[in-house]
A = this chain, B = another copy of it.
Amino acid sequence: MSTIAIVYFSGGGHTHLMAEAIAVGVHTAGHSPDLLRITGEQIEQGRWQDDRFMARLANADAIVFGSPTYMGGVAAQFKAFIDAASSAWFVQQWKDKIAAGFTHSSSPSGDKQGTLLYLAIHAAQHGMVWVGATDMPSQYQGKTDGINRLGSFLGVMGQSTMTMDGSPAALESGDRLTAELFGQRIAVAVERWAIDTTVAVTA
């Protein structure tokens, strides 16, 4: 059983729900999700620190990165985590781990692709292997289940119209389903990637 860390920031709660849906998918595929939610409290004078998080990420077989798209990019709190994780970069600690990404915003496009592009750039700096979303948009399959309804490929996107009435965050059912399938997809990729050549040969 592999461990798949899902490290994310969530302000309004939508990205948190997406993280949970991905965790459900990972679990369904028989693997172990490790939800790591970044908070503002971990940041002092602009610098993020949480040694326990870093230890769990070091032990994970895959890391799924998630952030809302705020002002066209990842949230500052998420970037503070990224910058602190340069300590892992210097020693290439995450090299050859599987990486994936997801994001959420209030508009269908909403510059979310830029966020996923950034997550892929960052994962490449760490020498990670990037697994994207592979579900074709529902319409191409004559379905209306909302799977990949936004048409995203580098990673998974969610979109929820912003409400100001204080009601709790909720996901579109299609977005939740897309995130769950993405969790399964990542787990299967980790399984395939995890098999060490030497072990397989001797087996």
Please give the residue numbers on chain A whose beta carbons come within 8 Å of chain B beta carbons, in ascending order: 39-43, 45-48, 70-77, 79-80, 82-83, 85-86, 89-90, 92, 95-96, 105-114, 117-118, 120-125, 127-134, 136-137, 139-140, 148-155, 157, 159, 161-162, 189, 191-193, 195-197, 200, 203
User: Taking A71-B89, A134-B127 as contacts, is the C-beta distance between A107 and B76 under 8 angstroms?
Assistant: no
Minimum CB–CB distance for A40 against chain B, Å: 3
Flag if B46 contacts A80 (CB, 8 Å).
Answer: yes
With both beta carbons as reference points, the residue of chain B lying nearest to A139 in the complex is identified as: B161
In the complex, which of the residues B79, B124, B154, B159 contacts A79, with contact meaning CB atoms closer than 8 Å? B79
Residues of B within 8 A of A191 (CB): 197
**A162–B75 CA distance with the chains assembled, in angstroms:** 27
With both beta carbons as reference points, the residue of chain B lying nearest to A80 in the complex is identified as: B76
Kindly list the 8 A-B residue pairs having the minimum CB-CB distance in the complex, ordered from nearest: A107-B151, A40-B46, A108-B108, A124-B132, A127-B134, A110-B151, A113-B113, A76-B80
Flag if B109 contacts A109 (CB, 8 Å).
Answer: yes
| 24 A-B interface contacts by CB (under 8 A) | A40-B45, A46-B76, A46-B77, A71-B85, A72-B125, A73-B82, A73-B118, A76-B77, A79-B79, A107-B139, A113-B114, A117-B121, A118-B118, A123-B132, A124-B132, A124-B133, A127-B132, A127-B134, A128-B132, A130-B130, A140-B162, A191-B197, A192-B195, A195-B200
